[in-house]
């Protein structure tokens, strides 16, 4: 049961933001793209090095997809006001994507706590009105972003170890790269995220809960106060999931065990990483444009349930 919960946690952003997982496979003809690669037509795939979110969509975008300029400024203001009121957080809006009844708004927090998330702003198209009183977010999504941002803030030194680990992997391998910052900003919303990984905290995480409560009560609480509120003894590795996503640098190369295995070993052997559960994914060079994801049939990863535990 716990394993299923972790798997759903990892997949939740893809299920909502990407629309549906059937986009992760397709029946496109076996034609070559501009790189001479078969089965990666440019109308469906794009290089991870250039993808910024173009082509991404949500099912049933409908009228909102064609009316962005008419509502854009009001939608952005409504989102900023809502997140500031509900979560004591200032944000920058990066992208608006039409959904069935309005817009899904992709935003990034501003200030010392850093995370990405989304909000939904309904539109009354019959009255041509932004329903500013009805802005909402997916249950637990912004809270998850704040929790992971708090982890990265109070565990800054450990997160630097993680960033250094990935830098060393990229430099020593010469075979892998990450995604673009622009794609994260425009179509991700996966809580705390870099071009190489994202982190998600469980809503049941008792260790970080006092830190979250303190921040919500006093957003100006010092780093020392927030750190002191953390209940280390209550932490369980299942509470914090690190999803590492790397891509093959060469457009013509498939993900192979010879590249994947040393990455796994590097994570297994480094005990200075932030505590949590790590899932390592290696994709080919391309992103599925509609879903904003590198997950494909040839991707190499663990089973989605059993990660690398750091306790």
Collapsing DSSP to helix, strand or coil, 92 comes out as strand
The residues, ordered by sequence, that sit 6+ positions from 167 with a Cβ below 8 Å of its Cβ are none
Q: Return the H-helix or E-strand segment holding 109.
A: strand 102-109
Please give the Cα distance from 189 to 309 (Å, whole number). 25
Q: Return the H-helix or E-strand segment holding 241.
A: strand 240-248
Crossing angle of helices 141-154 and 209-217, rounded to 10°: 100
Q: 32 has which bridge partners?
A: 38
* Phi, psi at 238, each rounded to 5°: -65, -15
Tokens of 238: 């299942």
Q: Return the H-helix or E-strand segment holding 151.
A: helix 141-154
Please give the Cα distance from 291 to 44 (Å, whole number). 10
Say what the pLDDT of residue 58 is: 85
Digits of tens for pLDDT over the chain (311 positions)? 434 344 444 444 443 444 344 444 444 445 778 888 888 999 999 999 999 999 998 877 767 777 778 899 999 999 999 999 999 999 999 999 999 889 999 999 999 999 999 999 999 989 999 999 999 999 999 999 999 999 999 999 999 999 999 999 999 999 999 999 999 999 999 999 999 999 999 999 999 999 999 999 999 999 999 999 999 999 999 999 999 999 999 999 999 999 999 999 999 999 999 999 999 999 999 999 999 999 999 999 987 677 999 99
Please give the Cα distance from 59 to 268 (Å, whole number). 39
Please give the Cα distance from 81 to 79 (Å, whole number). 5
pTM of structure: 0.87
The residues, ordered by sequence, that sit 6+ positions from 118 with a Cβ below 8 Å of its Cβ are 17, 104, 105, 106, 107, 137, 138, 141, 189
């Amino acid at each position: 049961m716990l394993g299923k919960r972790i798997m759903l946690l990892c997949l939740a952003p893809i299920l909502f933001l990407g629309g549906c997982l059937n986009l992760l496979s397709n029946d496109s003809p076996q034609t070559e793209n501009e790189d001479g690669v078969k089965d990666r037509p440019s109308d469906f795939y794009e290089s991870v090095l250039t993808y910024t979110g173009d082509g991404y969509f949500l099912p049933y975008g409908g009228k909102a997809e064609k009316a962005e300029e008419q509502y854009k400024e009001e939608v952005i203001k409504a989102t900023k006001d809502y997140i500031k009121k509900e979560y004591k957080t200032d944000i920058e809006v990066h992208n608006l994507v039409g959904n069935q009844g309005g817009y899904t708004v992709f935003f990034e927090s501003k200030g010392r706590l850093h995370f990405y998330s989304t909000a939904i702003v309904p539109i009354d198209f019959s009255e041509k009105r932004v329903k500013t009183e009805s802005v909402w977010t997916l249950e637990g999504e912004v809270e998850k972003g704040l929790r992971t941002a708090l982890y990265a803030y109070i565990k800054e030194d450990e997160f630097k170890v993680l960033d250094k680990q990935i830098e060393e992997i990229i430099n020593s391998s010469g075979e892998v790269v990450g995604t673009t910052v622009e794609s994260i900003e425009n179509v991700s919303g996966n809580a705390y995220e870099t071009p190489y990984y994202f982190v998600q905290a469980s809503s049941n995480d008792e260790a970080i809960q006092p830190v979250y409560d303190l921040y919500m009560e006093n957003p100006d609480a010092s780093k020392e106060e927030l750190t002191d509120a953390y209940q280390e003894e209550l932490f369980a590795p299942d509470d914090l999931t690190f999803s590492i996503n790397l891509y093959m640098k060469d457009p013509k190369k498939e993900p192979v065990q010879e590249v994947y295995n040393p990455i796994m070993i590097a994570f297994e052997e480094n005990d200075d990483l932030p505590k949590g559960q790590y899932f390592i994914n290696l994709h080919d060079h391309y992103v599925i444009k509609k879903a904003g994801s590198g997950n494909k049939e040839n991707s190499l990863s663990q089973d989605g349930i059993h990660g690398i535990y750091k306790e």
